A and B are shown apart, each in its own frame.
Chain A
Amino acid sequence: MNIDEALKKIGDHFGSRILKVNRKSSKRAYIDIYPKDVVDVVRYIFKDMGLRFNIASAVDDFDSLEILYHFTYDPTAIIISIRAMLKDKNDPHIDTITGVTRSAWWIEREMHELFGIEFDGNNDLRPLLLPDDWPSGVYPLRKNFVVPKRDSRKE
């Protein structure tokens, strides 16, 4: 399954639910979808097409947040990234994909604490990396977070 066959398969299966396909090279492609379709798309790619889940990465685009779910098909070395734009930065919501693959367990916790994204249906969103007394509503990987200066005289 080369990249064109993979993209055709996804395109045929989801039709107009696919917003945009960017075939960047013979090894990389980015597919934009609606956030509400994320579970269906991820299930199809992970379970039916048998791609490996690399990781998800959230990006703060200033106006909105986007999540990229990266999948690899090892036999032909292609990486397909699914992009979901979360328009409302004040209340970003998306369905959890932990029901499809348990490999998303930690990354959803991480995106929850670092970007403030709510994963509906995931009931284990405890902090993973940040300390327990981290203030709520402060998301360090958002662009508006500025790393505070330390007062070295107090150390």
Chain B
Amino acid sequence: MSHKAHVPIGPYHPLQEEPEFYKLVVEGETVVDVDVRIGYNHRGIEKISESKNFDQSIFIVERICGICSSSHPVACVQAIEDICDITVPERALYIRSINQELERIHSHLLWLGLAGHFLGYNTVFMWAWKYRELICDIMETVTGNRQNYAMLKVGGVRRDIEREHVPYILSRLDELLPKLDMLKGAVLDDPVLAARLKGVGILTKEAAIDYAALGPVARASGVDIDVRRDHPYAAYDRVKWNVITQTEGDVFAKTVVRILEMYESASIIRQCLDNMPDGPIDSNPKEIPAGEGIGVSEAPRGECFHYIKSDGSNSPVRHKVRAPTYMNFPTFRETVMGQTVSDATIILAAIDPCYCCTERMLIVDTKDKSIMNVEELIRLSQEKTQRLKEKMGIK
């Protein structure tokens, strides 16, 4: 006789910043079935986009996720550029790549920290999130924002990377790399983590192909795909870098892929800064004709896919967005079954479900009962950006 019990996780609980509801069916310690309920955060972005003009659509999709806030706009503008064959200036392509790779480093660090947190290894959590700030500072000085950079537009980018930014970005990367070495050692050489992660939550290559898994999840299972190499966009075909793959498909392999990818990203950023030509950053297209277009970009979690249909007016008739987690999520059926309950959390977290960290701060002073309003928070944030810029010696 079997005794099946249900273990509910979510939708609101202290570890997961985003609401998801997992229903684990367990027999003893073993997970025998699992179901996921999502949609608690559904904002109807595809519907909203149909009522906005093309410039606003980019703005909207940037807000799908605070972490992938460069990947979605890149895929979106590429879909629009695909409708009408717009040529993007060379310099803009390099800036797009730099932006995407900075985002990838900070996203992978964020995941690494959370994974450490899930496992009770809070040193990794503290380190990863601390050194992620180096990247967020670069983003803030270059774009004005830690997240939601608003860099992209159809036909180019909205802001240039100034000459005086370059030494600052390089110095911050120099600062980051030894820390990455330290994190890499702390994670990959740790016997406890190896015991905890190796052979856990395996996604076989066949299952990864059948589920059409993407990004680090697919690459950790030996599926050698990467949109940056396969569908060269931005400046990825102008620099030298490697696609990191592993064959084991377990949580450890996914961790290895993400850690090693950060080194590749740093190398891509350096090469882009070195080779970036001078010139315009925007080709200023005027009209979007009728037609349909598809744009893809490699987000930190895998391929972002945007399909846009235009009828020649100034807003899309249909705007389909497919984020990478959408394809990676259903693989939990393969990876969690037969594992123990205690491993379920890290296995579910191993696909790097998309978390949002756009909330910056809210200052509430209970002594004199003053609560800062939006304008004051914006002023505080602008002052901080200014201080950062002064520190690096630019206006």
Contacts and interface: CB of A to CB of B under 8 A. Distances in A.
A141 interface: yes
Nearest to B303: A54
B127 interface: no
A30 B293 CA distance: 11
Nearest to A71: B212
17 contacts: A27-B231, A28-B82, A30-B292, A54-B305, A54-B322, A55-B320, A55-B322, A57-B318, A57-B320, A60-B318, A70-B294, A70-B307, A72-B296, A102-B333, A103-B212, A106-B330, A129-B38
Interface stretch (A12-20, A34-42, A74-82, A84-92): A74-82
B267 to A, nearest CB: 22
B39 A130 contact: yes
A106 B329 contact: yes
B44 interface: yes
A11 interface: no
B306 to A, nearest CB: 10
A77 B298 CA distance: 13
Interface string A124-155: 00011111000000001100010100000000
A128 B305 contact: no
Contact of A147 (B38, B47, B232, B303): B47
B18 interface: no
B221 to A, nearest CB: 14
Interface of A: 25, 27-28, 30, 52-55, 57, 59-60, 68, 70, 72, 74-75, 77, 79, 81, 101-103, 105-107, 127-131, 140-141, 145, 147
Given A70-B305, A103-B330, A128-B39, A141 B294 contact: no
A57 to B, nearest CB: 4
Interface of B is mostly: mixed
A52 B225 contact: yes
Given A52-B225, A140-B47, A102 B230 contact: no
A25 B211 CA distance: 28
Interface in B195-219: 209-212
Query: What are the 9 A-B residue pairs with the smallest beta carbon separation, nearest first?
Result: A57-B320, A103-B212, A129-B39, A55-B322, A77-B231, A74-B230, A129-B42, A59-B318, A53-B212
Given A55-B320, A129-B42, A101 B47 contact: no
Contacts of A54: 212, 296, 303, 305, 322
Contacts of A53: 212
B72 interface: no
A102 B210 CA distance: 6
Given A28-B82, A102-B210, A103-B210, A130 B42 contact: yes
A107 B85 CA distance: 29
Interface string B228-244: 00111000000000000
Interface in B274-311: 292-294, 296, 303, 305, 307, 309
